[in-house]
Amino acid sequence: MTTIHLLGFPRIGARRELKQLQESYWQQAIDEAALLKGARELRQRHWLLQKGAGVELAPVGDFALYDHVLDAQILVGALPTRFGFDAAALTTAQYFELGRGNAHQPALEMTKWFDTNYHYLVPEWHAGTAFSANPAALLAQLGEAQALGLKAKPVLLGPLTLLWLGKVKGAAFDRLRLLPALLECYRELLAALAAAGAEWVQLDEPILALDLPPDWLAAFAPSYQRLAEAPVKLLLASYFGSVAEHADLLKALPVAGLHLDLARAPQQLDAFLADWPADKVLSAGVIDGRNVWRADLGALLTPLEAARARLGERLWLAPSCSLLHCPVDLAQELTLDVEVKTWLAFAVQKLNELKLLKRGLRDGRDAIAPELAGSDHAQSSRRASPRIHRPTVQARLAALAGGGSQRHRPYPQRAAAQRAWLNLPVLPTTTIGSFPQTAAIRAARAAFKQGELEAAGYDAAMRREIELAIRRQEALGLDVLVHGEAERNDMVEYFGEQLSGYAFTRYGWVQSYGSRCVKPPIIYGDVERPAAMTVRWAVYAQSLTSRPVKGMLTGPVTMLQWSFVRDDLPRSEVCRQIALALNDEVLELENAGIRVIQIDEPAYREGLPLKRAEWPAYLAWASAAFRLCCAGLDDATQIHTHMCYSEFNDILPAIAAMDADVITIETSRSDMELLSAFGDFAYPNEIGPGVYDIHSPRVPGEQEIENLLKKALAVIPAERLWVNPDCGLKTRGWPEVEAALAHMVAVARRLRARL
Ligand code: GLN
Ligand code: ZN
Comparing 645 with 43, which gets the higher pLDDT? 43
pLDDT band, very low/low/confident/very high, at 675 (cuts 50, 70, 90) = confident
d(CA 596, CA 638): 5
Question: What's the pLDDT tens digit per position in 249-268?
Answer: 999 999 999 999 999 999 99
CA of 728 to the centre of ligand 2 (A): 6
Evaluate the CA torsion angle 99, 100, 102, 108 in order and state its sign: positive
Give me the residues paired with residue 554 across strands.
600
Q: Comparing C-alpha atoms, which of 358, 376, 365 is closest to residue 294?
A: 376
Residue 425 CA, ligand 1 centroid: distance in Å: 25
Q: Which numbered atom of ligand 1 lies nearest the CA of 433?
A: 4
- pLDDT of 404 strictly over 60: no
pLDDT for residue 403: 58
Beta strands in 450-521 (DSSP E): 481-482, 500-503, 510-513, 516-518
- 563-591: average pLDDT: 97
Q: Name the residues around ion ligand 2, CB cutoff 5 A.
A: 602, 644, 727
> Considering only CA atoms, which residue is closest to atom 4 of ligand 1?
728
Q: Are 310 and 281 in contact (CB under 8 A)?
A: no
Give which of 263, 246, 277, 245 is closest to 317, Cα–Cα.
263
The model's pTM is: 0.96
Residue type, 102: N
Side-chain half-sphere exposure of 113, counting CA atoms within 13 A: 25
Nearest ligand atom owner, CA of 645: 2
Mean per-residue pLDDT, 434-462: 95
377 is known as an active-site residue:
no
- Give the residue, by CA position, lying nearest to ligand 1 atom 10: 728
Residue 676 has pLDDT above 90, yes or no: no
| Average pLDDT of span 574-592 | 97
Q: Which one of the listed residues 259, 408, 695, 743 is annotated catalytic?
A: 695
Q: Which residues have C-beta within 8 Å of that of residue 620, sequence separation ≥ 6?
A: 654
* Other CB atoms within 10 Å distance of the CB of residue 546: 6
The per-residue pLDDT of the chain, averaged, comes to: 96
> What is the predicted pLDDT for the residue at 670?
77
Q: Are strands 522-528 and 500-503 parallel, antiparallel or unpaired?
A: antiparallel
Q: Is the CB of 483 under 6 A from ligand 1?
A: no
Q: Which amino acid does the sequence have at 214? A: P
Question: Given this model, what pLDDT does residue 290 score?
Answer: 98
Neighbours of 543 (CB within 10 A): 11
State the Cα–Cα distance between residues 157 and 72, nearest whole angstrom.
7
Q: What is 304-368 written as a DSSP string?
A: HHHHHHHHGGGEEEEESS-GGGS-S-GGG-SSS-HHHHTTB--HHHHHHHHHHHHHHHHH-GGGG
Instruction: Return binding residues for 5-methyltetrahydropteroyltri-L-glutamate.
Output: 16-19, 112, 117, 516-517, 562, 606
pLDDT exceeds cutoff 80 at 701: yes
Report the sign of the C-alpha dihedral through residues 502, 508, 510, 514, in that order. positive
Alpha carbon of 433 to those of 319, 352, 429, 565: distances in Å?
40, 45, 13, 26
This complex has an ipTM of: 0.99
Specify the DSSP element, H or E, that contains 236.
Answer: strand 233-237
Ligand index nearest the alpha carbon of residue 432: 1
- Spatial neighbors of 532 by CB under 8 A, at least 6 apart, are 585, 588
For ligand 1, pick from 117, 432, 693 the residue to mutate: most ligand atoms within 8 Å of CB: 432
Q: Considering every ligand atom shown, identify the ligand nearest to the alpha carbon of residue 666 and give its number.
A: 2
Letter for the amino acid at 248? Answer: D
Residue 606's identity, in one-letter code, is: E
Q: To test ligand 1's pocket by mutation, which of 550, 599, 600 has the most ligand atoms within 8 angstroms of CB?
A: 600
Q: Which residues make up each annotated binding site for L-methionine? A: 432-434, 485, 600
For ligand 1, whether the C-beta of 743 sits within 6 Å is no
Q: What is the pLDDT of residue 696?
A: 84
The rounded percent of the chain whose pLDDT value lies above 90 is: 94
Q: Which residue(s) pair with 121 in the sheet?
A: 110
**Three-state secondary-structure class, residue 643:** strand
Compute the distance from residue 536 Cα to the ligand 2 centre, in Å. Answer: 24
Q: Is the CB of 99 under 6 A from ligand 1?
A: no
Average pLDDT over residues 475-487: 98
The secondary structure of residue 700, as a DSSP letter, is: P
Measured distance CA(618)–CA(256) in Å, rounded: 37
What b/e readout covers 568-601, taking b as 16+ CB neighbours within 10 angstroms? ebebeebbbbbbbbbbbbbbbbbeeebbbbbbbb
Q: What are the tens digits of pLDDT across the range 293-326? A: 999 999 999 999 999 999 999 999 999 999 999 9
Q: What is the residue with the minimal CA distance to atom 1 of ligand 1? A: 433
Amino acid present at 270: D
Provide the pLDDT for residue 671: 78
CA distance 559 to 617: 19
Q: Is the dihedral of CA 166, 170, 172, 178 positive or negative?
A: negative
Atom of ligand 1 nearest to the CA of 727: 8
User: Residue positions in the annotated binding site for L-homocysteine?
Assistant: 432-434, 485, 600
The residue ranges of DSSP E strands in 26-180, in sequence order, are 58-60, 110-112, 119-121, 124-125, 152-157, 167-168
pLDDT digits (tens, 9 = 90+) for 204-238: 999 999 999 999 999 999 999 999 999 999 999 99
Q: Is pLDDT at 703 greater than 70 in this prediction?
A: yes
- What residues contact residue 498 under an 8 Å CB cut-off, 6+ apart? 529, 530, 531, 533
